[in-house]
Structure 1
């Protein structure tokens, strides 16, 4: 086995906030406990329960649900160990491990995790919310590849949860988010992917509606081995931005394909036929270079966001969404459309609480908050939702940023009811957030 960790020791506590990627919403706990071991997490939960305080966990701070006022915040960043078993094709990862660390540990063995696009995101928290990876159509949700979890529940117990031991809790923790306890580690399955064909092809945003229509048509023809997204955003006019897109509104299609390069070239030919691109980085690459496909920003910043699971999407409504959120919008917006389906639509055993498996697309909206008020962004998102109407099945737990007041729509009614029952069983006092609303 191969291991990597921070080697941290005893936990500490102080009444201040941790460093966080999301800077738009303040974290002001009554007590911050920096956990160095799983037992530190257990002691923090016992302390909070004894003092009638709520508990929240914090790893990297990418997906904060909103302002955290009062209570106990358990910082799990130091629980960053990653241990790969190349024979079993598994990895044991601590609550503070990032996807970049997990990918780096798996790559020498020709293996890969089902990571998202950003290497700095916490792998455990992302997986608890479902885990929509860059190879998602080929391998499904990351939550479906969890073998075991270690979690501290509201009674202060550190439990090892597997399909055989506490199967109902195993179901709910995978896709149900953080309402059932503080997960200190996961054992996950890895996939045998050493290289992939991928990258991005960018077009002038003046052709946004055309590119979107061609993209939607193209997604109906590709195999499950190809996962893609379309992104539309205005690039700032700054020296560090590549010259070909600097100061321009750009629409990009990003691709990750697990087949060979020759087949990848054939599959993307319809995209290249759209016309001359601003940039084209499609190529075969080692899996370790996969973060270059999306090039997510590596620096902390303030943002608000929403994720809408869609049953279907037609070119007319998609064009209207781009019109509302494009350069003429009152705020700067980043729009991303994830093509779903494939393995994401499967319901593997043991079942998990991951919702909306019949969705065809995920529409992600993200708006920087520097100089922009949240009310304006919410109003714009309301217009977008109105355009999409009944095509919106629900909301994506991992991609609803900064909306602490928006607590519903994350699961179908039956799943939400089942999760509410689990919360009542394992956290009757509401230590991790109160009654579950779905």
Structure 2
């Protein structure tokens, strides 16, 4: 194309297809404007904090500045904006001795975590998934309209938004239930490599007898040689058992007694703490594991397989290999149906901090070795696709492939 004076001009259509536009929004009306503009120009919409990795021609909506938090202590509910992280939400709820079903990391966004299902390592076994306790979703849909979606008015769309990810629109706010807990008893018990088998035997004993108010998980840690790491763990393999108990301290100590008796600890910090400190139990630096699988059980043979593939005798190229206890309320269907699948699992295996240069064969070996105990994949994709086609027929929203809570 040329201008009226004959000079060559930029083809605006081609330029639009090459660029990625990042729109920082502060309100639902900002989101509506961005979605309507993207739909008009037929550009896909992605919700993210930056344009890194976004396909050419995308409109990236950054909701990080939408930080509204409202706590209603009478109804025990919270309403949070799309930019709110769990640390912020928990601090607001704690003023009323309430808590939500938070992630293991305080930096995790409430909305994205809950839309993907939301597995709380502290409250999950007691109450279920975070998605099970959503009351309403505020959503900008493909037509640019702002909608309040709940289980009564739009049950299919609500079902998909709770656990099926967020490819059906831009979630601008979320309303969810809170629960009356101010403190918990928890922390870490860390052991040297030579005690791994004895500790895991004790772990299985504690997990098998655990009431729903107790969650015990363990992780193989390959700790960096850094000043920020405790001297007894620095540069070494360690086995950490993570404990979260919702009852009295003395009862919690009795429940985990087999772990305390199993072997000497290189480090321990079991203590009563406010719920705002619960993120320290797992100490995860971010919201996502590199890969994860569901386990139907953790037998003697499964422990042997795990130790042989990723235990202290192996040069496994990952910072953390964790087995998190499930069951309890996580295994039960919620009162308001949703898209969370895989409720028959008893444990979740996750691997994070992988060395991408060397990890693939080691990870494949680990998963192959544990294959007799891996269950799934569980999928609800067919129904999600039907709902997607009904509410976003032009496939405007491309936030991510359909996400499930266990991946």
Shorter-chain TM-score above 0.5 = yes
Tell me how far apart the structure 1 counterparts of residues 176 and 283 of structure 2 sit (CA, whole Å): 25
- CA displacement, residues 230-249 of structure 1 (integer Å, 9 cap, x when unaligned): 11111111112111211111
Tell me how far apart the structure 1 counterparts of residues 372 and 19 of structure 2 sit (CA, whole Å): 39
User: 1:89 is matched with which residue: 76, 79, 92?
Assistant: 76
Q: Counterparts of 1:15-414 in structure 2 under 5 Å? A: 30-58=20-48, 67-70=53-56, 71-133=58-120, 134-297=122-285, 305-326=290-311, 328-329=314-315, 331-369=317-355, 372-373=356-357, 376-394=358-376, 409=377, 411-412=378-379
Equivalent residue of 2:216, what SS?
strand
- CA displacement, residues 20-72 of structure 1 (integer Å, 9 cap, x when unaligned): xxxxxxxx97111111111111222222222222211125x8xx9x9432211
- CA displacement, residues 403-435 of structure 1 (integer Å, 9 cap, x when unaligned): xxxxxx4x42xx221111101111112222399
Tell me how far apart the structure 2 counterparts of residues 182 and 307 of structure 1 sit (CA, whole Å): 26
Equivalent residue of 1:106, what SS?
helix
1:22 match: none
Q: Which runs of 4+ in 1 moved over 4 A?
A: 434-438
How many Å apart are 1:80 and its aligned residue? Answer: 1.3
Unmatched 5+ residue regions in structure 2? 1-17
Of the structure 1 ranges 204-213 and 155-164, higher mean CA displacement relative to structure 2 is found in 204-213
Question: If you compute each CA radius of gyration, which structure gives the higher value, 1 or 2?
Answer: 2
Tell me how far apart the structure 2 counterparts of residues 382 and 261 of structure 1 sit (CA, whole Å): 41
Pair 349,304 (structure 1): closer, same or farther in 2 beyond 3 Å: closer
Pair 260,388 (structure 1): closer, same or farther in 2 beyond 3 Å: same
- CA displacement, residues 347-378 of structure 1 (integer Å, 9 cap, x when unaligned): 12111111101111110111244xx42xx433
Unmatched 5+ residue regions in structure 1? 1-27, 395-408
Equivalent residue of 1:333, what SS?
strand
How many Å apart are 1:191 and its aligned residue? Answer: 0.4
- CA displacement, residues 122-161 of structure 1 (integer Å, 9 cap, x when unaligned): 0110011111112110111111111000011222221100
Contact 2:220 2:320 in 1 (8 A): yes
Contact 1:201 1:282 in 2 (8 A): yes
Tell me how far apart the structure 2 counterparts of residues 167 and 94 of structure 1 sit (CA, whole Å): 22
Aligned residues: 383
1:417 match: 382
Contact 1:325 1:333 in 2 (8 A): no
Pair 280,419 (structure 1): closer, same or farther in 2 beyond 3 Å: same
Equivalent residue of 2:256, what SS?
helix
Equivalent residue of 2:333, what SS?
coil
